[in-house]
Every structure is written in structure tokens, then in C-alpha cells.
Structure 1
Amino acid sequence: DFFSQSIAMSAPQWHRAPPQTQAASLQSTPQAKQSSPLDTSQNNDDNSQTKKPVYSLAILLNIVVVCSLGYLCFHQLFMTKVVVGPSMYPTLKPDQEILVLVMKVDAVIKAFFVRALGHEGISLEQVKRLRNGNVQVDFENGPVLVYRKVGNNNMYVVKRLKQIMYIPESGNFYCWMEGDNPDNSVDSRFYGYVPLDRFNGLLVMESVKSLPRMVTKKYFNRPLKVTTETLGDRKKRSSVRAAEKKEQKAVITARRADSLGEEAISVPLKNKSEGVKDDLLVLEHGLSTSDARGEAKEEKVDTQ
């Protein structure tokens, strides 16, 4: 106020304004100056509030699109399978989930075929000139492949590639597949070579962690039993079991004889055509156990 009055007194008389108008003008100017920045900030706040839901919807849509595309690409390029049975033990264990790359296996098999021949840059036309008939290549450990079971297209088989056969007349590859556990594996030794058009993919990852399943825990999480018995071991085991059964029969016959109260003799009979077992109890008066039991029952009935 003092500053405004000093300015008004220093001004000439003809330029002086009435004190009421000067005060009104001085009061109006700072309000106008102060109101302008407040209005712009309020407008910015309104715009930001309207833009926030738009940005959130755009981000949500992008996330949904990326997740859906990733899901589709993963299921088009990869598939997960559960190993059943010990045919690939110890490489793959029962109830183990594997990740399989769905691809054209012919490129993999051709690469191994060329590598096994030992020539770099060899082509199939040159392979045809090597022999007039079938071209077979043996190698120890090939890749683990997944193919549809011969005779059942709905089942998938996981085996290791052991041998490749190429027939120039048909222009196709045939693969000899075997399991890493040959004692418990049904493979090409039973159904022969597998044509190339039955293959679906290549094993990429040996173990895939998944959500726990009640069926898997209840029925499949059991200790693995791998049998390595030979034919001689089985014969020995069967002979031991037969001896144990004979001992059990002898104990049973002795108990029966004690229950009858008479001495019994074990007599082997060679004639089996009569429908009689190997060992019979013959009592002192020449009757078998069944006859003795029958007579004992008749005596009890007569006494009653």
C-alpha cells in the first residue's frame, strides 16, 4: 500500500486516478496474474487423468497379444511328452517330462548320414553313385528322436537313432531305432526300420518341471525296477522256488500225519495218468489220507 501511494503521489495531477480506482486496479492485476498458472495446472491434471486409463488399456492389450503369440509359437514349435517305461533308462526315467522340438527330422538324419560317411560336402546324388543297392551306415550314438508308433499313430515313441538306411530307388531314409536299456525296450529289433515320414521331432530338453499332478504322484512315483537277469538266472530262481515248494509240501504232509495220529510214509508215484499227485501219504494199513479221513468220519457218524 505504501508503495502504491508513493507512486500515485509522484505522478502528475492530470495522470492521477481516483484512489478507489487505483486500489481496484492494483488488486485486480495480481489476481489475474495468479489465476493464469492455476488454470493451466488444472487443465494438465484433467488431461493426465483422462490419459491414464488409455495408457493402462494399451499396456494390457500389448501384454495379452504378446502372451498369446508366445503361447501359439511355443505349442507350434515345441511339445511336451511324459516318458512311460524304462526303455530309455538311464538317459530318460519313467514319469519324466521332456521337451521336444517339432521340426522336419529329415534334415537332422541327412546331416548324420553325411557325417557318418566321413565326407564333407557330400550330396545325395553322390551317395546314389556309391552303391547300386541300399546304403547303410552304422554309428554308435545318434540323436534321441520322437516318432509315431508303428501300427498306432496316436502313440509317440522316444528312442535313439542307431543306424540309417537309404534306398535310392525310393529316395527315402529308414532309421533303426533302439532304446538305451535294451533289456526292457521294444524297438526296431521287433518291428524293423522306421520310415522317415513317421518322425515328428528332436529331443531338446531331458527334464521339464511342471505342476504336480495327483495321478502322477499316486501311480507313477514309484521306485524304478530295472531287470538285468539272464536266462540262467531265471532258471536258478525257478529251481529254488520249486525246492521251496517241495519243502512246504513235506511240512504240510507231516502236519497232516500228526493230526491223524498214525505214521505216514511219503511215496512218489511215477504214474500220473491216474490223476494222482507226486506225493501221497500211505498209512500202515495201505490207505491214503483221503480214505483215512473218510473212514474216520464214518466212525464218528456210527458212534453218534
Structure 2
Amino acid sequence: MSAYEQSPLDLGAVCQRWRNHRHSWRPADEGGFNPTRYRVHEMPNDLVHTARAFVLTHHYSRSWPPVRFAYGLIDTAAPPAGRLVGVLTLGIPTQAAVLTSVFSRLTPYEESLELNRLVLLDDVPANAETWAQARAFRLAAARGIRGIVAHSDPEPRTRLTAHGPETIFPGHYGTIYQAKGMDYLGKTRPRRQTLLPDGSVLHDRAMSKIRNNERGRGGVERRLVALGARPREAGEPGRAWLMEALHAVGAQGVRHGGLHRYAAYIGPRTGRRLAVTSYPYPKADQGGAAA
């Protein structure tokens, strides 16, 4: 996700940007963002594949989560009729409790969603994040969404290259959500996760699709084959193949200290306080890009 962050080089307040899975920084005080030049549009079903391709091309995670609504940031000054320069998505988290634990009176997936991707290209001027997020939330509220949960990952992520480890994500602590006035709900529980050599996470749900021969396992298998695993043979047990594939690609099990968690009501409920306890906002020295 893109956010105002403190850079690893202690350059001060900066905005994180992306291109081809590589992050870069723009000073938050650089100026130059002209809101009259940009528009935020909900991307209809026939254009969701465009949003998906954009996220897969540029976001460090190299993945597309379950999405209900995708919003595109359009640079109207780019010929011939505007250019897609950012994507924000609202979707379905791994379990309903992510939503119901915060918005107990909202129907999960129908009235509450997770902000699960936000990525802007490196030529978008600083301070566009909050502007784009506010307009996406306004469009979501018009569709009946009343609550949003968002997470930020404070732990850096690296990938292996021919020249050694390369940082592809320095970690962030959610300053964009703080700027939007979202409530901070603390960190999620620490957990174990499986890191692949390209720096992406292979989630437990993805691995269970292979183990149990579930629908959608093909994409997960192709992802591992692209990293060096042999193709799975017809009829081969998924559990055994997965163990071999993880070893072949050099996957690592690591401990993750938890995500920063934010939430807010939107639409007519904007400004309403959450029933759950909120905490002071975390800063860089509490886990983030400068930690």
C-alpha cells in the first residue's frame, strides 16, 4: 500500500510510490499535486482486469486479493483520454471476523470491507493518496458501504537477487490512514508466514488450495513453478508436491510481529466513534520504514 512514510534513509516525511514492484519516494512537502488534473472512478466489471494487471505489475506483493470494488486514479492530462496511474481496492479479508470484530452491527462484505490494495505510480505528485482515498470512500458509501478496515505492515520485506538481498518494501505504519482520521486499533496477533524468494508471501489459504485440490490452486502452482518448482503431475497428491515445491524454491517460514490495524465509518456514519478501543497512532520509531 502507498502511504506517507519515513524513509529508511531518514529523508523526512515522504510519500511512497511504486513501479514494476520497486518502491521510490517523493517528499511530502514537494507540492505540485493539482486535484483538477485527476479523477477517481469506480472500475466496472469489464475493466477490473485492467486494475488487476496494474496491481500485479506494480505492487510489491505481486498478488490480487478478493476484490469487491476497484477504483482507478486517472491522470486526465495524459493523452489520449487519460491514463491509469493508481488503483485502490476494497475487498474481502481472510475471515469475516476481521470486519465483525470492529463493525458488529454491519453486515460483513455487504456493508463493511477491507482496504486491501493502494498503489500509485512514481510520477504521481505527493499528497495524492489522501485525496484519492477520500473520493474512493465517497464512491463506496454511495454503494452502501459503511465501514472500512485497513492494515499496514511495519516489517520490511526483501527478495533474493544475483547481487544479494534487495529491499522491495521497507515497511510502513499507516500514516495515510492517520491523515484520513481513521481510528487505530493496535496490532494484529504475531504469526508465522511463508516468504518466497521474490519477497512475496504465500498465504496459508493459498497453500490449502493445493493441499486440498481446491478451485484456484492452478494459479498458486504456476506461481511456484515460475520460481523454480517442477510442474505438478496429474493425480499427484497436493500436500507432497507442495512440500517439495517450497523446498525447491527456497521458501522460508518467518515470524511476523503483526500488522497495524485501522478502521473508520464512512458515508452517513462518517465521524461516528467505533465501539472498540482505539489507541494513539504509531510512529516510525514504533515499527515502520524508519524503525
- Whether the TM-score (by the shorter chain) exceeds 0.5 is no
Higher strand proportion: 2
* RCO higher in structure (CA 8 A, sep ≥6): 2
TM-score, normalised to structure 2, is 0.20
Q: Indicate the structure (1 or 2) with the bigger Cα radius of gyration.
A: 1
Higher helix proportion: 1
